[in-house]
């Protein structure tokens, strides 16, 4: 358990938060959310012990192991990828190295006592399975087995960060503190990470700007706003509903108090001069004086406004691609791709990293030569492009200011118009005088979208537009794009973003492309899972469904009936185990409350302890039965294949 008590943090006159108290308990996963600059990352560093608080304390068990996601890969550049991951468990990694050194010196003198001590450390950490676990995590994060023994320096920046994430996950931590772990992950790897965190038994605190990820992972939300940190139960969607309801309740209470004051004031004004009512008027005035209305602090969250429109509609066929192929050396990323984008389409292009999504957009925009085929824009098509690297769109003009760069897109307009448009995307006052070279990723993204809005393209081509935006800006971008009346072609790994916008999904796989006419949710229903696997295409899914349908027509065999019974029992066991574990976690949470034993009778404590022991034994028995069923099902699968 981690206990945060009366925590405060300020930088000079800027107060991030104060009087913050909450507890984090095992088995729970906490999403840390708030506007950019509200103090999320600062709070994460305080929890990690990397940044001291201005006041208050963070208490945790002495031997707790923290897994903190670092962004510094330079000190591991010359290490092999697998060794970088194994180094996540420092004690085990050091013991394995020293053990090798003891064996190497065995010809001269063998230190049997030290070797035995090191062997105990290796066994304690299940060290003989460490490489297998590390390799499994790397595979799950999209780093294939064949390159695990290459140096980290051979990876691109995004994949280096994946290796550092693998290092944290493989280190056997009790607490995971993850700041933006989904950055540079594709949909496949994000889905794998979700499942890993859902199964993690310790504490998880995660900062992310991916709605669907927060919904799938989090059991609680820590909201940094109004200079406070408030703990909410439930995932991100449930938190949003609860916060809106709480704010509405407070505003309603204030309105009620204000009406009450107005009513009393009206009585006082009307009757204070009348002798017969003077005493009552005085009493009413005292009532008014006793009513205290606490003003609501302003939220730190800021929502930009994105307004997109087209100068004129395009022709019916917007983009025609025929037999397009592109290779980088021996790496064939696109082969014989053909599709036609039509006016009004909202086409989401999806697939694993490195499969050719961005390459396809760059070829369409004329920024990259293709090897074969054609890519042509249709009649009156005026595309506006957002590159994955927003600095490409700022033309390297680092000395230019926000205002001057934006004004270049609308030279005929007044300075008032320019300032008003910039204010919509949260550049007001001196912020519009910032140099481009000093902009954060989120600021640069907002600026590029502001310029696209005044250029009025009738086709928006967007490559990972949400990468640098916070949750509020992503929601605002979705609203702006929903209202846009042109054609939309975009690449994104943010499933919530895709689900809100796409009316057509193009999946690029190693076997080619699959063009699905429908929303993302319909696409997922067709595929059967909320991820895109490079080795699974819609065609394969459909074949499996047809095969299963044919088998059902034949009627179930004895083995099929047995398997169905086992699977049914497996589901029942999973539900019972989940219920038992949830109740155990509930009791643990009660026991972790410092005031619990003072406020609770010995009899009640004894009953809870007995319940906890009985549940523990029951969960253990149910788990053993579940494992037996899993083995039986696995044997049946092997025999069938």
Question: Do 433 and 530 lie in a common domain?
Answer: yes
Same domain, 363 and 248: no
**Rounded-to-integer distance, Cα 595 and Cα 498, Å:** 46
Higher pLDDT: 342 or 287? It is: 342
The DSSP 8-state label assigned to residue 503 in this structure reads S
Q: Are residues 532 and 568 in the same domain?
A: no
Looking up residue 590, the CATH number of its domain turns out to be: 1.10.287
Whether residue 440 is contained in a domain is answered as: yes
Token pair for 254: 């204030």
Is the pLDDT at 452 greater than 80, yes or no? yes
Inside any domain, residue 573: yes
Q: Is there a domain that residue 305 lies in?
A: no
In a domain, 120, yes or no: no
DSSP 102-141: HHHTTTT---HHHHHHHHHHHHHTTGGGHHHHHHHHHHHT
Report the run of H or E that residue 406 belongs to, with start and end: helix 402-407
Q: Is residue 29 situated within a structural domain?
A: no
Widest pairwise Cα distance in the chain: 112
CB 390 within 8 A of CB 444: yes
pLDDT digits (tens, 9 = 90+) for 367-418: 999 999 999 999 999 999 999 876 655 655 556 899 999 998 898 899 999 9
**Res. 272: pLDDT tops 80:** no
Block residue for tokens 């000079």: 12
Q: At what angle do helices 187-199 and 157-170 cross, to 10 degrees?
A: 10
Q: Check whether 139 has a pLDDT greater than 70.
A: yes
% of the chain exceeding 70 in pLDDT: 89
Q: Would you say the C-alpha torsion 620, 623, 627, 632 has a positive or negative sign?
A: positive
Least confident interval from 236-250, 267-281, 315-329, 479-493? 267-281
Q: Where a domain ends, among 545, 577, 606?
A: 545
Mean pLDDT on 455-478 = 93
Tell whether the model's pLDDT for residue 537 goes beyond 50.
no
Do 604 and 468 belong together in one domain? no
Sheet holding 220-225, edge to edge: 66-68, 175-179, 203-207, 29-34, 220-225, 228-233
Q: Do both 458 and 585 map to the same domain? A: no
Same domain, 328 and 463: yes
d(CA 55, CA 6): 7
State the pLDDT at residue 110. 77
What total number of domains does the chain contain? 3
Give Cα 265 to chain centroid, integer Å.
51
> pLDDT category, 466, cuts 50, 70, 90?
very high
pLDDT value at residue 124: 85
Whether residues 353 and 449 fall in one domain: yes
Residue 603: the pLDDT is: 78
Which of the 8 DSSP states describes residue 273?
T
Indicate the average pLDDT of the chain: 85
373 and 463 fall within a common domain? yes
Same domain, 488 and 364: yes
Kindly state the average pLDDT of the residues 577-604. Answer: 77
Here the CATH number for the domain that contains residue 411 is 3.40.50.300
Same domain, 279 and 397: no
Rounded distance between C-alpha atoms, residue 198 and residue 265, angstroms: 57
Q: Is the pLDDT of residue 323 over 90?
A: yes
Lowest mean pLDDT among 46-55, 76-85, 108-117: 108-117
State which H helix or E strand residue 60 sits in: none
- The pLDDT confidence band at residue 302, using thresholds 50, 70 and 90, is confident
Domain's final residue, options 290, 309, 331: 290
> Percentage of residues in the chain with pLDDT exceeding 90?
42
> What is the domain range of residue 254?
241-290
- Clarify whether residues 470 and 594 are in a common domain: no
Q: Is residue 82 part of a domain?
A: no
Indicate whether 450 belongs to any domain.
Answer: yes
Tokens of 622: 């149910």
Residue 599 tokens read as 């406020």
201 in a structural domain:
no
Q: For residues 481 and 376, state if they share a domain.
A: yes
Measure CA 77 to chain center. 27
């Amino acid at each position: 358990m981690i206990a945060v008590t009366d925590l405060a943090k300020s930088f000079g006159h800027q107060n991030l938060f104060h009087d913050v108290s909450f507890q984090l308990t095992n088995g729970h996963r906490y999403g840390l959310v708030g506007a950019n600059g509200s103090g999320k990352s600062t709070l994460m560093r305080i929890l990690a012990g990397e940044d001291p608080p201005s006041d208050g304390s963070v208490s945790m068990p002495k031997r707790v192991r923290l897994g903190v996601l670092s962004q510094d890969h330079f000190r591991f550049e010359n290490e092999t990828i697998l060794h970088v991951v194994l180094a996540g468990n420092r004690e085990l990694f050091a013991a394995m190295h020293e053990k090798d050194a003891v064996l190497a010196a065995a010809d001269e003198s063998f230190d049997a006592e030290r070797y035995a001590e090191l062997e105990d450390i290796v066994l304690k950490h299940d060290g003989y399975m460490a490489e297998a676990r590390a390799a499994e995590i790397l595979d799950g994060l999209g780093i294939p087995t064949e390159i695990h023994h290459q140096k980290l320096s051979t990876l691109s920046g995004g994949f280096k960060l994946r290796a550092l994430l693998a290092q944290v996950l493989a280190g056997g931590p009790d607490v995971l503190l993850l700041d933006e772990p989904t950055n540079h992950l594709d949909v496949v790897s994000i889905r794998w990470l979700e499942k890993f965190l859902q199964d993690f038994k310790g504490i998880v605190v995660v900062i992310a700007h991916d709605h669907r990820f927060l919904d799938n992972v989090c059991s609680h939300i820590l909201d940094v706003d109004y200079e406070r940190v408030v703990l909410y139960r439930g995932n991100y969607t449930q938190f949003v509903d609860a916060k809106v309801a709480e704010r509405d309740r407070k505003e309603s209470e204030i309105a009620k108090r204000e009406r009450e004051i107005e009513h009393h004031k009206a009585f006082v004004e009307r009757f204070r001069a009348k002798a017969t009512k003077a005493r009552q008027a005085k009493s009413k005035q005292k009532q008014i004086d006793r009513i205290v209305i606490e003003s609501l602090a302003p939220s730190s969250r800021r929502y930009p406004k994105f307004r997109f429109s087209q100068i004129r509609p395009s022709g019916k066929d917007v983009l025609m691609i025929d037999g397009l192929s592109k290779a980088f050396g021996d790496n064939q990323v696109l082969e014989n791709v053909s599709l036609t984008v039509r006016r009004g389409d909202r086409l989401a292009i999806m697939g694993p990293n490195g499969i050719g999504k961005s390459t396809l957009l760059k070829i369409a925009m004329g920024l990259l030569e293709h090897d074969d085929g054609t890519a042509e824009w249709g009649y009156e098509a005026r595309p506006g492009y957002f590159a994955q690297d927003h600095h490409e769109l700022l033309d390297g003009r680092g000395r230019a200011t926000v205002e001057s760069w934006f004004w270049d897109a609308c030279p005929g307009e007044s300075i008032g118009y320019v300032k008003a448009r910039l204010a919509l995307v949260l550049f007001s006052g001196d912020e519009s005088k910032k140099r481009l070279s000093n902009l954060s990723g989120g600021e640069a993204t907002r600026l590029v979208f502001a310029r696209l809005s005044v250029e009025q393209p009738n086709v928006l081509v967007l490559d990972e537009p949400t990468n640098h935006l916070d949750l509020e800006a992503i929601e605002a971008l979705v609203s702006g794009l929903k209202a846009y009346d042109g054609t939309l072609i975009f690449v994104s790994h943010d499933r919530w973003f895709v689900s809100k916008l796409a009316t057509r999904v193009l999946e690029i796989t190693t076997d080619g492309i699959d063009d699905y006419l429908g929303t993302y949710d319909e696409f997922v229903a067709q595929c059967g899972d909320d991820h895109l696997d490079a080795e699974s295409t819609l065609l394969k899914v459909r074949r499996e469904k047809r095969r299963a349908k044919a088998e059902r027509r034949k009627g179930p065999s004895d083995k099929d009936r047995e398997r169905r019974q086992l699977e049914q029992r497996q589901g029942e066991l999973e539900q019972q185990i989940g219920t038992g574990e949830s109740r155990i976690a509930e009791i643990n949470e009660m026991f972790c409350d410092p005031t619990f034993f003072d406020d609770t009778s010995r009899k009640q404590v004894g009953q809870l302890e007995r319940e906890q022991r009985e549940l523990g034994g029951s969960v253990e028995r149910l788990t053993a039965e579940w494992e037996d069923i899993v083995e039986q099902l696995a044997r049946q699968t092997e025999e069938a294949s």
